Amino acid sequence: MRAIDLQAFNVFDLDAYGSPWEHMIVLAARRKWTKGERGAVILTDGTALKMRFGQLPGAIAQLCGVAKDRMPPSGETGTAAQEMALRAWAERSGVAIVRQWRAEGNTRNHMVYTAIVFEGK
């Protein structure tokens, strides 16, 4: 993603073996959205697995401006961390989320599948 011009694309499917947030940071830095321009991101996110071991993924910590070694509050889920990261990503990208869908996998890894449609502010 760092080597190509992302302006030609408006839909991104990020399935990065567990955590798409490093790619979301690259997307926020390299793709600019004009006012009213729409885009979409589809995420496969395994954040819950890392949080089960008491860690917040580094890219989520970076997006949200918190310490990488921050222990998630008791009861915080991967879904809650993903929501926090999505809000931070939208702000960083200069977009507003228009619509969002979510499905949670019933697997040991507790994958969360999310699709968002957004538009430039």
Q: What is the pLDDT of residues 62-113, one digit of tens each?
A: 888 876 665 555 555 667 778 888 999 999 999 999 999 988 766 666 778 8
CB-based burial label for 75 (10 Å; 0-12, 13-18, 19+): exposed
pLDDT 10s digits, 39-48: 999 998 887 7
pLDDT at 73: 55
pLDDT above 90: residue 121: yes
Sheet holding 11-14, edge to edge: 11-14, 38-45, 112-120, 95-104
d(CA 15, CA 64): 21
Beta strands in 1-121 (DSSP E): 11-14, 38-45, 95-104, 112-120
Task: Name the 3-class secondary structure at 64.
Answer: helix
Contacts of 83 (CB under 8 A, 6+ apart): none
